Chains A and B, each alone.
Chain A
Amino acid sequence: MGLLSFVLRRLGLAVFVLLGVTIITFALSRSISANPLVAWLGRAASMYPDLAAAYAQKYHLNEPLYVQFYYYLVGLLQGDLGYSVFKGRPVIVAIRETLPFTLQIAFFAILFTLVIGIPLGVVAAKYHRRLADYGIRAFYLAGVSSPAFLLALFLLIVLTYTFRLLPSGGALSPGVPAPKPITGFIIIDSLLEGNLSTFVDALAHLVMPSLALALGVFGYVTRVLRASILEVMRTNYIRTARAKGLDENTIFFKHALRNAMISVVTLASLLTTWLVTGTLFAETIFTYPGVGQYMVQALSSLDYPSILGITLVFAAIIVASNLAADILYAVVDPEIRLK
């Protein structure tokens, strides 16, 4: 099978999965109560019958379910995720405001994950069954076994309250003006403005939430990379390389490591899922104004349209990153396409 047909098939699957997810969110949105209007509008539903009627009209609530679903889908395609009474604006607008903050954290979390996870995996494999291997194992076991909020609280105690290195929360220090929103990403916008001190301040606020996320997940990278290097070291081409008289370091770094790195791509799905889950806690604890904090706030004010809208956006992010990882994997390892 060629690369193109593989990509098309995976794309089809992604669309199918997303459709399935919309069925779930639609079903949830209609099962909140016998009358969804009460859940969406709260007391306003009974206080303003005109408003309720307009809503029923807009979302076709008086029609059969499959017709409602059709309009729900059409609405989604036009970016209509409903209206958030809590935020006082459409859900899609609230998500668009908060998502850049979460993506900033996610970017640095992935960076930290790789920067911590890969070297540790390499060292663990190189010193297989020696002290370093066991030490690293204990370290990553502690990381992956800890709930996200434990890591966040731990970092707060160490880096903020003990050593006073980093700010305890927020996206910018009080008094630091936010850059004019151009892309929505404050670290990019502050650079575009040429405002270096804002940039540094924003960066300092990013470190702890992303590090908290990375500490919970780098262990998977370390574990998979270690196992994969050890497996590659047992293959015939490594034996051939040894027979040719190459020195161990060249074999390890040039041949084994490069091939073993491919396996890290298979973790993309797990990493994205963890990051999405972790942002709920990291952003709440570090009061970072991203989608995770938005969802937790929506949860406490029972803002259903926001909760379901964010669920949908998270699912879309995961589907997209799985798709990207699968395609990347098929490009670097042609054997995958045949399966």
Chain B
Amino acid sequence: MKVKNPRTQYVIELLTYNNETKLGFLLVSTIVASAIIIALAGVSILPYDPIEQDVGPSLAGPSLQHLFGTDILGRDVFSRILYATPNDVFVSFVVVGVSLLVGALLGATAGYRGGLLDEALMRCTDIIFAIPALVLAISIAVILGTGVIHMMYALLIIWWPPYARLARGEALRVSHQNFIEAAKASGIGSLRILMRHVLPNILTPMVAYATIDIGSVVIIYAGLSYLGLSIRPPWPEWGAMVSAYQDYLVSAPWLPLFPALVIGIVVVAFSSLGDGLRDAVEAARIG
């Protein structure tokens, strides 16, 4: 496909780089589109009300009326899973987006300027890396109290360091290249070089990493809500559904398996798109 705008052309080339990016892009756009539609249209667009009880028989298996079956209260599991989509997508995009922004700014500045700032930033990230994300998120979340917004804060506090590391490394690589030297020689200020020349050139690999990382947030978030730190019942959440339904593992194994599989599919979608993007970026770099 040929487009006039070179930037649009670049994005299209990245997204159609190989089968992995194509499949990933297809899945990701489906997930994001359904999240947006459900968020805008609300409960009315779903086959059944996600919290209404007795819309079908209790613990019915998957059928045409109830694609993923029903739970013990006769609620439609498919509707419940769909209804949780906007929330999970929203949390992961916010956490990754803010981390990308903060990490890129901090990391690029540190990598470009070097010195004490660089050292301080790297040691900070060392410390945060020593605590597993989920464990630290739990410690912060119990102190903030349960709830989606608090969990998002907890994740935001711990999620930016890898981005800062990545941005720093990329900024170091870029800052030794000729066009930066040329910009310096022509008397452009540091801040302008950083914003106009360094940041745009480190963004693509960071976006590739961020795409894979959305899957990691989905997994950690599902883990936190599995442990009961997120939305309060009866409102559905994927991780919380697995934990609530796992008691029916013998009598109705599809109940915990469907929400868990959906989490897995979302992760596969984002990681194949991100993996493909990373390959495309690396191929472009080698030339």
Return the chain B residue nearest A308 by Cβ. Answer: B139
Closest Cβ–Cβ distance, residue B122 to chain A (whole Å): 10
Q: Please tell me if the beta carbons of B139 and A150 are within 8 angstroms of each other in the complex.
A: no
Q: Please tell me if the beta carbons of B126 and A13 are within 8 angstroms of each other in the complex.
A: yes
Closest Cβ–Cβ distance, residue A17 to chain B (whole Å): 5
Which of A181-189, A258-266, A299-307, A329-337 participates in binding chain B? A299-307
Query: In this assembly, does A7 line the interface, its C-beta being within 8 Å of a C-beta of chain B?
Result: no
Which of B99-107, B130-138, B169-177 participates in binding chain A? B130-138
Q: Please tell me if the beta carbons of A20 and B123 are within 8 angstroms of each other in the complex.
A: yes
Which of A47-55, A70-78, A243-251, A311-319 participates in binding chain B? A311-319
Q: Please tell me if the beta carbons of A307 and B139 are within 8 angstroms of each other in the complex.
A: yes
Q: Please tell me if the beta carbons of B132 and A273 are within 8 angstroms of each other in the complex.
A: yes
Which of B40-48, B185-193, B259-267 participates in binding chain A? B259-267
B107-141: CB near A (< 8 Å → 1, else 0) gives: 00000000000000001101101111111101110
Contact of A314 among B135, B226, B239, B250 (CB under 8 A): B135
Q: Please tell me if the beta carbons of A295 and B138 are within 8 angstroms of each other in the complex.
A: yes
Query: In this assembly, does B69 line the interface, its C-beta being within 8 Å of a C-beta of chain A?
Result: no
Q: Please tell me if the beta carbons of B135 and A277 are within 8 angstroms of each other in the complex.
A: yes
Closest Cβ–Cβ distance, residue B250 to chain A (whole Å): 6
Closest Cβ–Cβ distance, residue B46 to chain A (whole Å): 24
In the assembled complex, which residues on chain B have CB atoms less than 8 Å from the CB atom of A308? 139
Which of B51-59, B195-203, B215-223 participates in binding chain A? B215-223
Distance A32 CA – B271 CA, assembled complex (angstroms): 36
Q: Please tell me if the beta carbons of A318 and B227 are within 8 angstroms of each other in the complex.
A: no
Distance A277 CA – B135 CA, assembled complex (angstroms): 7
Closest Cβ–Cβ distance, residue A154 to chain B (whole Å): 8
Return the chain A residue nearest B123 by Cβ. Answer: A16
State the majority secondary structure of interface residues on B. Answer: helix
A146 in contact with B260 given A17-B130, A314-B132 (CB within 8 Å): yes
Contact of B223 among A23, A28, A144, A277 (CB under 8 A): A277
Q: Please tell me if the beta carbons of A24 and B127 are within 8 angstroms of each other in the complex.
A: yes
Query: In this assembly, does A280 line the interface, its C-beta being within 8 Å of a C-beta of chain B?
Result: yes
Query: In this assembly, does A296 line the interface, its C-beta being within 8 Å of a C-beta of chain B?
Result: yes
Contact of B260 among A32, A147, A269 (CB under 8 A): A147
Q: Please tell me if the beta carbons of A145 and B139 are within 8 angstroms of each other in the complex.
A: no
State the majority secondary structure of interface residues on A. Answer: helix
Interface centre among B133, B260, B263 (most CB of A within 10 A): B260
Q: Please tell me if the beta carbons of B271 and A145 are within 8 angstroms of each other in the complex.
A: yes
Interface centre among A157, A277, A296 (most CB of B within 10 A): A277
Q: Please tell me if the beta carbons of A276 and B260 are within 8 angstroms of each other in the complex.
A: no
Query: In this assembly, does A139 line the interface, its C-beta being within 8 Å of a C-beta of chain B?
Result: no
Interface centre among B127, B129, B215, B242 (most CB of A within 10 A): B127
Tell me which residues from 113 to 132 in chain A have a Cβ below 8 Å from any Cβ of chain B.
Answer: none
Q: Please tell me if the beta carbons of B260 and A318 are within 8 angstroms of each other in the complex.
A: no
A153 in contact with B242 given A311-B131, A315-B130 (CB within 8 Å): yes
Q: Please tell me if the beta carbons of A277 and B143 are within 8 angstroms of each other in the complex.
A: no
Interface centre among A31, A147, A296, A322 (most CB of B within 10 A): A147
Q: Please tell me if the beta carbons of B133 and A277 are within 8 angstroms of each other in the complex.
A: yes
Closest Cβ–Cβ distance, residue A295 to chain B (whole Å): 7
Distance A147 CA – B134 CA, assembled complex (angstroms): 12
Distance A148 CA – B227 CA, assembled complex (angstroms): 12
Q: Please tell me if the beta carbons of B215 and A145 are within 8 angstroms of each other in the complex.
A: yes
A145-178: CB near B (< 8 Å → 1, else 0) gives: 1111110011011000100000000000000000
Q: Please tell me if the beta carbons of B127 and A304 are within 8 angstroms of each other in the complex.
A: no
Query: In this assembly, does A141 line the interface, its C-beta being within 8 Å of a C-beta of chain B?
Result: yes
A318 in contact with B132 given A24-B127, A149-B242 (CB within 8 Å): yes
Query: In this assembly, does A285 line the interface, its C-beta being within 8 Å of a C-beta of chain B?
Result: yes
Query: In this assembly, does A112 line the interface, its C-beta being within 8 Å of a C-beta of chain B?
Result: no
Contact of A276 among B132, B227, B253 (CB under 8 A): B132
Distance A154 CA – B263 CA, assembled complex (angstroms): 14
Contact of B142 among A16, A17, A299 (CB under 8 A): A299
Q: Please tell me if the beta carbons of B250 and A161 are within 8 angstroms of each other in the complex.
A: yes
In the assembled complex, which residues on chain B have CB atoms less than 8 Å from the CB atom of A299? 138, 142, 227-229
Query: In this assembly, does B9 line the interface, its C-beta being within 8 Å of a C-beta of chain A?
Result: no
Tell me which residues from 226 to 275 in chain B have a Cβ below 8 Å from any Cβ of chain A.
Answer: 226-229, 239, 242-243, 246, 249-250, 253, 256-257, 260-261, 263-264, 267-268, 271-272
Return the chain A residue nearest B270 by Cβ. Answer: A145
In the assembled complex, which residues on chain A have CB atoms less than 8 Å from the CB atom of B272? 141
Query: In this assembly, does A281 line the interface, its C-beta being within 8 Å of a C-beta of chain B?
Result: yes
In the assembled complex, which residues on chain B have CB atoms less than 8 Å from the CB atom of A296? 227
Distance A311 CA – B271 CA, assembled complex (angstroms): 28
Closest Cβ–Cβ distance, residue B160 to chain A (whole Å): 15
In the assembled complex, which residues on chain B have CB atoms less than 8 Å from the CB atom of A149? 223, 226, 239, 242-243, 246, 260
A25 in contact with B130 given A145-B267, A299-B227 (CB within 8 Å): no
Q: Please tell me if the beta carbons of A150 and B142 are within 8 angstroms of each other in the complex.
A: no
Closest Cβ–Cβ distance, residue A134 to chain B (whole Å): 11
Q: Which 4 A-B pairs have the closest CB atoms?
A: A20-B127, A150-B260, A145-B267, A277-B134
Measured CB to CB, the residues of B under 8 A from A are 123-124, 126-127, 129-136, 138-140, 142-143, 215, 219, 222-223, 226-229, 239, 242-243, 246, 249-250, 253, 256-257, 260-261, 263-264, 267-268, 271-272
Measured CB to CB, the residues of A under 8 A from B are 13, 16-18, 20-21, 23-25, 28, 31-32, 141-142, 144-150, 153-154, 156-157, 161, 269, 273, 276-277, 280-281, 285, 295-296, 299-300, 302, 304, 307-308, 310-311, 314-315, 318-319, 322
Q: A13-B126, A142-B268, A281-B226 are in contact. List 18 more A-B contacts (CB 8 A).
A: A17-B126, A17-B127, A18-B130, A24-B136, A25-B139, A32-B143, A146-B260, A146-B263, A147-B222, A147-B263, A149-B223, A149-B243, A150-B261, A161-B250, A161-B253, A281-B223, A310-B135, A319-B130
